[in-house]
Chains A and B, each alone.
Chain A
């Protein structure tokens, strides 16, 4: 027994000693070099864009070092980490790469610095409008948009041309074109994200907005159970069950599944995000060069894609807000964004879309710009994560025909009202 325990004990002693000496070493280094270390937390970046930009920043700012804190890939995983760290007022976070739906929530909790003192309104106007709208809370700006996405409709250019069809603009156009291609080529008319998760809400909102509806109106009423909303959900349900234009398993599809179905040539149309375009040229794709894209289809309202954006925010508990802003200003600058755009990102600064280098290298961005300019953020409220869960469940129940679209949205409205009552907040804020 005694003999067995000794190595373990020695190991623990060494471990403790090692940690102590490590701490001492780090402190010594920091004090001798006289620079500030900022922590930049973001999801894994396989493109190498973060690394390249950070290297440039450190070259021009020798007094600031950037430590990258790599977070889980899933957005939910990142959200969880931020909530627990920020609720504990952890001062080790400085610059945060935030999904567009977080800033209102984090700002209402008092975890983010308002950025208006750093970025005057005249400068804010240089960014895509919907993107800055999504990261504002009670009139103040809490993050700077970095990269933007908006939902788009991708189509098989080759098939549409063969049939002499023009890309659809309205719901009816989509029904006709998808139906024709489905019958003729024995493929699915349309695939999208309809599993029970955040992506379903993004997809549903586009039909809702496209039919003139919304979750709330300007006066703080819940409008998710109004006729135009029920009609939108009915249309989505009918796409699957009445017109049978989608894969039967679409109600279990996330981005991955819908992407595979489309790029393997199993579907005529795909609703997804801009990344699909670049990846459709990949070596496993069967539709390289055959993909076109248009803004989302609409009915009684206007075409609107759901905005997804990554934004840069500063933690209220950061000890270096000024240096953090310096870093954000660099990352979101025209030059940095041009560099990142050439590597496949979609920029947030309007001026980047007009840059001659971009126009030459990435002409497809003009379509993205049109959709981003018309794009809308998801309901801007600190309660959004909770509202999203309600919508995910109720919309999914309707599109799997467990209950009618009307019953689903009435239930969603009731639950959203209860939510605002529970937290004693004015509806829609």
Chain B
């Protein structure tokens, strides 16, 4: 029996070995390598300076730079607002398309279109929608006499971040719809029937049947979207380039790493972002009890 068990265990290890190796090479190695690089001064364009060990200097420089704190705040702000909006809209749309009606299949498929367009492409599209002179948003509002003159959507602190949030909500709500719809379909209609027999209003049915049963899916969807939103890069890069208080951690990291070729400090920023994401995941999984395994 014991021998049998160890042999089985050995086979099991052998079978998972390829995936472990793949994970090690493509996930673990780059993370450890970034961590290692973050303790060195590495500038690819200045090889004559060598790669001296600088300890925590890269981190010190990050934490004393107001640009980093602004980026952290902007990223958090953006993540909270857009994920909240996406959840509310996503849930509403998922519940709508969960009902049987003519053309439901077509609608479900078309909901996915924004999500299927590469973000850089849709970001360029939004950049022209928000253009003050040639943009459709401005000209619609002017036609309806809501605006009397062109408004600089992408050139003011008040609206630039809203533009980015709008473009993100437009793009990723379909993802929420898809996940939540899958969850809604697992809820047995019997629960609703029972609730109706008890005389529950639609609102109470939503509050006491739909929400509790959907909670595990909602948490997983929120976790995915939060992690994704926290890394936002393309929309900001194309729409504002990080100006008007829209610079996020990813945009800052890319600036430092690629435009300034400062790979040491860029790695340190990447490590800081990694830690933020760990914290977010921890909160979702341990504190809120999101079950990602299922």
A residues contacting B by CB (< 8 A) are 76, 79-80, 83-84, 87, 105-106, 108-110, 195-197, 247-252, 257, 260-261, 264, 266, 382, 385-386, 389, 393, 396, 400, 423-424
27 A-B pairs with C-beta separation under 8 A: A76-B259, A83-B45, A109-B44, A110-B47, A195-B241, A196-B242, A196-B243, A247-B133, A247-B152, A248-B150, A249-B133, A249-B153, A249-B155, A251-B152, A252-B152, A252-B155, A252-B240, A261-B133, A264-B133, A264-B134, A382-B45, A386-B262, A389-B260, A396-B243, A400-B157, A423-B49, A424-B49
Given known pairs A87-B47, A108-B48, A252-B243, the reply for A385 and B260 (CB within 8 Å) is yes
Is B46 located at the chain interface by the 8 A CB criterion?
yes
Q: Contact check: which of B132, B242, B243 meets A248 at CB < 8 Å?
A: B132
How far is the CB of A48 from the nearest CB of chain B, in Å?
A: 25
A419's closest neighbor in chain B, by CB?
Answer: B260
Say yes or no: B241 contacts A249, CB within 8 Å: no
How far is the CB of B148 from the nearest CB of chain A, in Å?
A: 13
Say yes or no: B243 contacts A247, CB within 8 Å: no
Contacts of B45 in A (CB 8 A): 83, 87, 105-106, 108-109, 382, 385
Contacts of B255 in A (CB 8 A): 389
Q: Contact check: which of B43, B132, B262 meets A247 at CB < 8 Å?
A: B132
B residues contacting A by CB (< 8 A) are 43-49, 67, 131-134, 150-155, 157, 160, 240-244, 255, 258-262
How far is the CB of A349 from the nearest CB of chain B, in Å?
A: 30
Q: Considering the complex of A and B, which 6 residue pairs feature the smallest CB-CB distances, nearest first?
A: A249-B152, A196-B243, A249-B132, A252-B155, A252-B154, A87-B44
How far is the CB of B62 from the nearest CB of chain A, in Å?
A: 14
Contacts of A80 in B (CB 8 A): 258
Contacts of B153 in A (CB 8 A): 249
Say yes or no: B46 contacts A382, CB within 8 Å: yes
Say yes or no: B259 contacts A423, CB within 8 Å: no
* Cα of A382 to Cα of B46 in the assembled complex, Å: 8
Say yes or no: A257 contacts B47, CB within 8 Å: no
Known pairs A247-B133, A264-B134, A396-B243. 14 more at Cβ < 8 A?
A: A83-B258, A87-B44, A109-B48, A110-B47, A195-B243, A197-B241, A248-B132, A249-B153, A252-B155, A260-B134, A385-B259, A389-B259, A393-B67, A423-B46
A77's closest neighbor in chain B, by CB?
Answer: B258
How far is the CB of B21 from the nearest CB of chain A, in Å?
A: 17
Say yes or no: B133 contacts A386, CB within 8 Å: no
B160's closest neighbor in chain A, by CB?
Answer: A252
Say yes or no: B261 contacts A83, CB within 8 Å: yes
Say yes or no: B49 contacts A249, CB within 8 Å: no
Say yes or no: B243 contacts A249, CB within 8 Å: no
Contacts of A424 in B (CB 8 A): 49
* Cα of A264 to Cα of B135 in the assembled complex, Å: 13
How far is the CB of A138 from the nearest CB of chain B, in Å?
A: 12
Contacts of A423 in B (CB 8 A): 43, 46, 49
* Cα of A83 to Cα of B258 in the assembled complex, Å: 9
Q: Contact check: which of A195, A197, A250, A385 meets B261 at CB < 8 Å?
A: A385
Given known pairs A83-B45, A423-B49, the reply for A260 and B259 (CB within 8 Å) is no
